[in-house]
Amino acid sequence: MIIGLTGGIGSGKTAVSNWFFSQNIDVVDADIIAHQLTKQGSPLLDTLRETFGDWVLDEAGNYNRQAMRTFIFDKPDKLAKLNAIIHPAVQQSILHSLKQSHSSYTLLVVPLLFEKHQHSPLFSLCQQFLVVDSPVALQIVRATRRDSTGDIQKILSNQLNRQERLALAQELHADIVVNDQDLPTLYAQLLPLHQKYLALAHAQK
């Protein structure tokens, strides 16, 4: 059984996925896979350089994600070209990782799972959804701690807003955890969900 985990930037998806991992649940994270596939010297990074130019690399030869975000912002054609290169490789790697999973259920972490749900094959793989919800102001504070480049607003503009995400979550009968306090408070919400998912996975066998 696959649980699709999603949420806005700075909502706390990593904290949630780390907790499930601590409970011996396999976690497949789309962002981590994308970073691995575009590491220095990778075939995918070579394709990006050949397609867009040498500027996609920073001085150390690593993928310059900030430069790419700036380049594709408000340029749907450039974004489509980037996605046509990145998405198939990421999806193939995700499918491979899911097949390798041996835990009772698997957590699939996809930041834009809801934004792309009508067109994403990953969405259809999930039997259940878990949404991490957080006030926007708190999302910005957390995200800024991690990335002070000023791209936070650009990323937020490409995501569903909080109300839209929660409305879709309710429509899909997704589980929702609110991450607006400390980690113990968050973890207390996750334990009953873990038990629920174990029971659902057992019932499907």
Residues with Cβ within 8 Å of residue 71, at least 6 apart in sequence: 52, 78
**So what's the pLDDT on residue 140?**
84
Report yes or no: 8 and 166 within 8 Å, Cβ to Cβ: no
pLDDT of 117 above 70: no
Give me the mean pLDDT over the 152-180 stretch: 87
Residues of the chain with CATH 3.40.50.300: 1-25+103-205, 30-102
pLDDT of residue 139: 84
At residue 161, the pLDDT reads 86
Secondary structure string (H, E, C) spanning 84-100? HHHHHHHHHHHHHHHHH
What is the CATH code of the structural domain delimited by 1-25+103-205? Answer: 3.40.50.300
pLDDT at 149 over 70: no
Res 148: pLDDT: 58
Alpha-carbon distance 124 to 7, whole Å? Answer: 17
The answer to whether the CB of 45 falls within 8 A of the CB of 55 is no
Tell me the two tokens of residue 126.
């999930």
- 49-53, 84-88, 117-121, 140-144: lowest mean pLDDT where? 117-121
- Topology of domain 30-102, per CATH? Rossmann fold (3.40.50)
What local confidence, expressed as pLDDT, does residue 90 receive? Answer: 94
Measure the CA–CA gap between 30 and 186, rounded to whole angstroms.
22
Q: Which of 52-66, 83-97, 109-123 comes out lowest in average pLDDT?
A: 109-123
Tokens of 176: 């929702």
Label residue 79 exposed, middle or buried (CB < 10 Å: 0-12, 13-18, 19+).
middle
With pLDDT > 70 as the criterion, what percentage of the chain qualifies? 94
58 phi, psi to nearest 5 deg: -85, -175
So what's the pLDDT on residue 66?
85
Cβ count within 10 A of residue 108? 27
**Taking the complete model, does pTM exceed 0.85, yes or no?**
yes
Q: Which residues contact 67 (CB under 8 A, 6 or more apart)?
A: 55, 56, 58
Beta strands in the chain (DSSP E): 2-7, 26-29, 106-109, 128-133, 175-178
Host H or E run for residue 46:
helix 43-52
